[in-house]
Amino acid sequence: MTSPTNQELITRWRHEPAPLLPLLHAFHDRDGYLSDEALGAVALGLKVPIAELFGDVTFYHHFNRDPTRTNALRICTGPICRRYGAMELLAAFEQDGATPMPCAGRCDDPIPVLQHGQALAGTSPDTLEARRSPLPPPNPAEHEECVFSAIREPGRSKLEGYRRTGGYEALTRAVTDMQPAEVVHLVAENGLAGRGGAGFPTGVKWKAVAEAAARPKTIVCNADEGEPGCFKDRAILDHDPHAVIEGMALAAYATGATRGFIYLRYEYPDTFHVLEHAIHEAEEAGLLGGSILGTDFAFQLYLRRGAGAYICGEETSLLNSLEGKHPFPRNRPPYPVTHGYENLPTVVNNVETLAAAAQIIRRGGKWYGSLGLNGQAGTKIISLSGDIRHPGNYEVPMGLPLKTLLYNWAGGPLPGRQIRAVTMAGLSGGFLAGDGLDVTLDEPSIRAKGSFLGAGGVMVFDDSRDMVAVAHDAMEFFAHESCGKCFPCRIGTQRLTERLAGEAGPTDLTAWLDEVNDLGQTMKAVSACGLGLAAPLITGSLMRYFPDRVAQHVQTMANARAREVQP
Ligand SMILES: Cc1cc2nc3c(=O)[nH]c(=O)nc-3n(C[C@H](O)[C@H](O)[C@H](O)COP(=O)(O)O)c2cc1C
Ligand code: SF4
């Protein structure tokens, strides 16, 4: 088969919604890199100033501009993959041009490696192979699941299997028997809150978009999942893609939206094909497109790939990315519910939120709200990884003690080891350790310890781990991914990384603590988005739970400096 010409690619994408990223991907897939000629053609075809286009392309980590590196590997060097030998794997392929990739969302089955759009996994050069992502392990407790309640059913990822196990019943009931406001009410009264990190009440968000006057309205599924230690969205999309499509269609019906996008992180190429197929199946069956299920409800769904930038998971950055603008987060207000995609009313929801909404509407009543413990509503998927016997995605009732998950569900630490610390919200919630581990898995309990549950990534570090080194790697990630829009975040994450590396900063402990605190406070006070607010939780929790190790770190630095100045 001959490769498409530049003009054929431009013609294919020019009039599609949100065309910039798919067009860049089309050139990149064809050539293995983005040449000057390709960028010139894209700039001309989409009428984008060439300087702006260069700025965008070089912002995303995935786009290669070097023709000699078209087959070079990208190797995940996230916190968990490092434990499985990621740095050694990188070194083995370094002479072939391999580069590190921030956590690629496969912490339960490492090490993910990308090569020219293909996903491989393995812990050594000999074991690299294409592998399906694992199903969630069996739920070891009696607690009822919501999102995972049918995910392990054979054939669930295909339309036939999905329908056989109750799929699209909720959509059918909604469009034939329910008013849009009833759908919003059902989601609101069950207490569903956003599962992408911020925990905003989903019913409130849907109501605001339903009441907004401007049109057309849009539903965006945030499948960017860039938070290190989070891999739940991947599991849902790989094994239950129709649940998310159904959730999006329900959100569209409830709010009056007519178009939708799934924004999928680039690092999930297999998931892209699963979704492509599922969307096609749903269109063919009259569950997407015009006249859905024979009614006058219409909803067109598009699939778009990101290009490797953690900040694109932040909802306004994601919207800019979709629109082909530089993916800086937007200043808020106004919020996406009134000024979202193309400045029009938009729901942005996480994959897990949308999959839960489909179940809630199918079950009706106050079923979901009653699944939590101690007055907490619903369930949460926790992506558990690291130094633990049984890593994986666990759907827990909100309010479950963290230690029950760690020790009873997931088997506790590895033989002969003790759990030293865990991260919360992937990396964004910093560390919990010592008495900090005595929390229940819900926002009020975890926030009382100065952290937050967020998207539900929990990485476990045992007593063989050096927490200053772990904190350094975490801060290096934030420094790498800071979009640079706000000075305190851009510089603050770098200064904190240097201090954790022992490369710079005071050698007196009190001065070191003051400076690190001061940097963190400044970032928290003035950062425009959650990245700059979250990064100081790493240093804050390190100083709180590991004061002796911090003192030792500063002393080691002081000793090294003293040796440097000796004649
Ligand atoms: C730096 C940053 C990265 C984020 N990454 C994601 C992400 O990958 N997926 C996601 O759903 N939400 C992410 N969020 C949260 C989104 O901005 C937004 O709150 C969420 O998509 C809304 O959906 P929900 O209400 O269903 O949670 C991120 C936020 C920040 C500040
Ligand atoms: S806080 Fe950091 S990541 Fe967020 S907008 Fe500012 S510079 Fe960008």
Query: How do residues 33-55 score in pLDDT, each as one tens digit?
Result: 999 999 999 999 999 999 999 99
Tell me the two tokens of residue 500.
Answer: 């954790």
Ligand nearest to the CA of 222: 1
Mutate to test the pocket of ligand 1, among 255, 341, 350, 482 (most ligand atoms within 8 A of CB): 350
Tell me the two tokens of residue 20.
Answer: 């910039």
Residue 159, pLDDT > 70, answer: yes
Mutate to test the pocket of ligand 2, among 318, 331, 485 (most ligand atoms within 8 A of CB): 485
Report DSSP state, residue 201: B
- Stated length of the chain: 567
Mean pLDDT of the chain: 96
Rounded to the nearest angstrom, the distance between the alpha carbon of 240 and the centre of ligand 2 is 33
Residue 87, pLDDT > 80, answer: yes
CA 522 to CA 141: how far, in whole Å?
44
CA 179 to chain centre: 32
**Which is the closest atom of ligand 2 to the Cα of 317?**
5
In this prediction, residue 564 has a pLDDT band, given cuts at 50, 70 and 90, of confident
Ligand 2: residues within 6 Å at CB? 311, 329, 482-486, 489-490, 527-529, 531-532
Query: Which residue owns the Cα nearest ligand 1 atom 14?
Result: 314
Ligand nearest to the CA of 428: 1
**Which is the closest atom of ligand 2 to the Cα of 329?**
5
Report DSSP state, residue 355: H
Report DSSP state, residue 405: I
What is the mean predicted confidence (pLDDT) over 134-145?
A: 90
Query: Which residue owns the Cα nearest ligand 2 atom 4?
Result: 529
Ligand nearest to the CA of 237: 1
Q: Which residue has the tokens 């020790």?
A: 407
What is the mean predicted confidence (pLDDT) over 304-327?
A: 97
Mutate to test the pocket of ligand 1, among 315, 381, 482 (most ligand atoms within 8 A of CB): 315
Tell me the two tokens of residue 179.
Answer: 């008013």
In this prediction, residue 63 has a pLDDT band, given cuts at 50, 70 and 90, of very high
Rounded to the nearest angstrom, the distance between the alpha carbon of 10 and the centre of ligand 1 is 31
Alpha-helical segments (H) within 123-179: 159-164, 169-177
In this prediction, residue 2 has a pLDDT band, given cuts at 50, 70 and 90, of confident
Mutate to test the pocket of ligand 1, among 314, 452, 524 (most ligand atoms within 8 A of CB): 314
- Determine the 3-state secondary structure of 244 from DSSP: helix
Is the CB of residue 54 below 6 angstroms from any atom belonging to ligand 1? no
CA 311 to chain centre: 10
Residue 326: which residues within 8 A CB-CB, separation 6 or more? 52, 55, 56, 59, 320
Ligand nearest to the CA of 492: 2
CA atoms within 13 A on the CB side of 158: 4
Is the CB of residue 196 below 6 angstroms from any atom belonging to ligand 1? yes
Query: Which residue owns the Cα nearest ligand 1 atom 2?
Result: 314
Is the CB of residue 398 below 6 angstroms from any atom belonging to ligand 1? no
Rounded to the nearest angstrom, the distance between the alpha carbon of 197 and the centre of ligand 1 is 5
CA 517 to CA 412: how far, in whole Å?
33
CA 127 to CA 442: how far, in whole Å?
39
Radius of gyration for the alpha carbons in the chain, expressed in angstroms and rounded: 23
In this prediction, residue 116 has a pLDDT band, given cuts at 50, 70 and 90, of confident
What is the mean predicted confidence (pLDDT) over 323-335?
A: 96
CA angle, 433 then 439 then 443, to 5° = 115
Mutate to test the pocket of ligand 2, among 331, 482, 495, 496 (most ligand atoms within 8 A of CB): 482
Contact present, 340 and 319 (Cβ < 8 Å): yes
Query: Which residue owns the Cα nearest ligand 1 atom 25?
Result: 194
**What pLDDT was estimated at residue 365?**
87
Q: Which residues pair with 119 in a beta bridge?
A: 114
Q: Which residues pair with 113 in a beta bridge?
A: 75, 120
Share of the chain above pLDDT 70, in %: 100
What is the mean predicted confidence (pLDDT) over 181-194?
A: 97
CA 395 to CA 351: how far, in whole Å?
14
CA 446 to CA 440: how far, in whole Å?
7
Ligand nearest to the CA of 316: 1
In this prediction, residue 1 has a pLDDT band, given cuts at 50, 70 and 90, of low
Tell me the two tokens of residue 75.
Answer: 């190797």
Mutate to test the pocket of ligand 2, among 490, 493, 496, 526 (most ligand atoms within 8 A of CB): 490
CA 396 to CA 129: how far, in whole Å?
32
pTM: 0.97
**Which is the closest atom of ligand 1 to the Cα of 224?**
8
**What pLDDT was estimated at residue 271?**
97
In this prediction, residue 156 has a pLDDT band, given cuts at 50, 70 and 90, of very high
Nearest to 279 by CA among 158, 193, 187: 158
Ligand nearest to the CA of 349: 1
What is the mean predicted confidence (pLDDT) over 157-176?
A: 98
What is the mean predicted confidence (pLDDT) over 371-399?
A: 97
Residue 106, pLDDT > 80, answer: yes
CA 441 to CA 452: how far, in whole Å?
9
Contact present, 53 and 63 (Cβ < 8 Å): no
Is the CB of residue 531 below 6 angstroms from any atom belonging to ligand 1? yes
Residue 389, pLDDT > 80, answer: yes
In this prediction, residue 567 has a pLDDT band, given cuts at 50, 70 and 90, of low
Rounded to the nearest angstrom, the distance between the alpha carbon of 532 and the centre of ligand 2 is 5
CA 202 to CA 206: how far, in whole Å?
6
Rounded to the nearest angstrom, the distance between the alpha carbon of 286 and the centre of ligand 1 is 30
Is the CB of residue 350 below 6 angstroms from any atom belonging to ligand 1? yes
Is the CB of residue 198 below 6 angstroms from any atom belonging to ligand 1? yes
